[in-house]
Structure 1
Amino acid sequence: MRKLLVPVLLLALLLAGCSFGKDEKPPQPPAPDLTSAPGAVAVNPGPFESGPVRAPARGALFGAWIKPDALTHVGRLAAVDTLQTELGRPLKIVNTYRRFEQMVGTPSDKEFLARGATLMVSWATGDNRSILDGEHDDLIRKQARAVRKIKVPILLRMRWEMDRPNLRATMWSGEDYAAAWKYVRKIFTEEGATNVSWVWCPTAEGFMRGDAPGFYPGDDQVDWTCVDVYAGEKFQPIGELMAPFLTWAAQRPKPIVIGEFGVAKAWGSSGRAAWIKDARRTFKANPQIKAIAYFESNPEGNGPTKQFQLSGDPPAFKAFEAMSTDPYFNP
């Protein structure tokens, strides 16, 4: 009997160990220390030519895009109000996205402006060659008149991330994009829409590849330079991700807006918190950066490497909240 009991006990212990291994989550790797990662410091101290939306003399304006539950007036207001309540402060930059045919000046646009926020309109213009052929002149003029009608200065990101490879079919080339930019801006000028600060905003990856500068319309055409930067597929310090762009932008007398930035859920709460802390330090180390806007959204259909919402992730959101209450981001 005793001989039989020992193997039975050993078997029970073995099965218990297997069950424990199945239920237990594998240990997570420690979050990398990003707080001491070097940041690429812009050498241009200003002054900067910024157009109608004036850059603060010191510090940076703080803002975000928050995906609403419904793309309605009520939905947009609720999304912004919820984040502002969680942060305990108003957003100074409200990013909003528009298709080519969608006009600026919606009720929510007007409400944000009435509250004192600066509207940053990310406008998805269409095929550059069809623009240059005059096929969309009526639409562009209608948008210019809509912008003029609101009378308040806005930031306009005309076809942001134009350097993305998946947009090449409609962008055609850097030369086509630059020509279309000049064409659209000329129409805005003709329509008296002079309350626009024109924001040129490629991706950090485009500067790392080296092709983004080819889309630049010229210093006489751009009021703010911009970059969208994410810790998505690769987890790198934001200073490293932005370094090629910052080096390029430092040669131009323009303020910088970080049009979108975000750190994906895939990197875990502690990793995300570390990345946000490093972003805060890097933005402050680069005085040419005058505005920032977080991408507070989990786009539908995307996996964890492209989900960036911080709300609901206490450690990451706490780091974001600390950034928002930093006096540097309340100029």
Structure 2
Amino acid sequence: MSPATGKVMLGAYLSLSGRSASESLALRRSQLGRDQRIVHQFWAWDEAMPRTRFNVPSSSTLMISWHGVAWNKINGGGSDKLIAAAARNLAAQSKPLLVRWAWEMNGDWFEWGGAGNGKNADGYVSAWRRIHGIFADEGATNVSWVWSPNWNSSPGDSWNKMQNYYPGDDYVDWVGVSGYDFYKESPATLFNPIVNAYGARKPIIVTETAAIDFGGSTKADWTDDLAAYARRTPELSAMVWFDTDTHNDTNFRIDSTTASLAAYRRMAGNAHFQG
């Protein structure tokens, strides 16, 4: 799957309280006058991958964030059958899709993070390459691979630098990044390290982001700043908003205030975001 030249694909993970997935998509369609360009879904490691596209408009691309697992469960071959079955199911969709496996591996909050797997990123690289190879063997050529660290590493030790986890250009189609302005970071602070390191050779996708409401117009202002940043950053080819009010008591919804919805609508309506 290739990005549109000079455009940004704008999509979302949607989980809105009191609404089903289809109802949430319909609400955003009515508010924005368009479908999501990317529909982001999460799937557990041992959950059967979908053979059909659930709640994904025909004009949208599906991005699956596939949970990781301890690396030794992959590198020893014990998960080969599970991986092959996942590959066959996704291949059956016969439409291009994005797979983001074991994201934010440079953080210490998931079981697949380096901190809990021997503090040696080589094991992550080996696991990624093994999964990639099995998908190739099963003919899942419709899958594009998204490698997606967190914008900063935790812990910040040298062994945990995000670059250590990079599987190599032959195994990655898109480079992603997660970044939220939890401490009022600018979009440039969050995303420039990834853009500068990989933007010359891979399309960049912001796989998770949302603005934090610090009161007043802060959420709308940051959304406007993000749109301006994207317009002046040609390496950035896609952005996926974490559009939910059901996660950790933080309201990431684009419509949490009238001003924030207006800012997001300005971004979605701009020609640069029609990729």
Fold agreement, TM-score > 0.5: yes
- With normalisation by structure 2, the TM-score equals 0.91
2:11 alignment partner in structure 1: 63
Q: Could you tell me the TM-score, scaled by structure 1's length?
A: 0.76
Aligned pair partner of 2:92 in 137, 149, 156: 149
Unpaired stretches in structure 2, ≥5 consecutive residues = none
Amino acid at match of 2:193: P
Tell me which amino acid in the other structure corresponds to 2:264. F
Q: Do the aligned partners of residues 185 and 253 (structure 1) sit closer, same or farther apart at CA in structure 2, a change above 3 Å counting?
A: same
Name the structure 2 match of 1:278: 225
Paired residue for 1:243? Answer: 192
Q: Identity of paired residues, percent? A: 26
Pairs within 5 Å for 1:118-197:
118-167=61-110, 168=113, 170-172=116-118, 173-197=120-144
Aligned in 2, Cα 1:284/1:207: closer, same or farther, shift over 3 Å?
A: farther
Matches within 5 A, 1:1-331: 53-69=1-17, 75-105=20-50, 109-112=53-56, 115-167=58-110, 168=113, 170-172=116-118, 173-206=120-153, 209=156, 211-232=161-182, 234-250=183-199, 252-265=200-213, 267-300=214-247, 302-303=248-249, 306-331=250-275
Larger Rg computed on CA atoms: 1
CA contact (8 A) 2:108 2:116 kept: no
Displacement of 1:263: 1.3
Q: CA deviation at 1:243?
A: 2.2
Q: For residues 120-155 of structure 1, what are the alpha-carbon distances to aligned partners after superposition, in whole Å with 9 as ceiling and x for unaligned?
A: 110002111111111211211110000110010101
Q: What residue identity is the alignment partner of 2:12?
A: A
Superposed CA deviations along residues 269-297 of structure 1, whole A, max 9, x for unmatched, are 40111100000000111111111111111
Specify the SS of the correspondent of 1:205.
coil
Contact preservation (8 Å) 1:206, 1:212: yes
Structure 1 position 299, deviation (Å): 3.8
**Cα distance change on mapping 1:170 and 1:81 into 2, 3 Å:** farther
Instruction: Report the Cα offset of residue 178 of structure 1.
Output: 0.8
Structure 1 residues not aligned, in runs of 5+:
1-52
What amino acid is the match of 1:188?
F
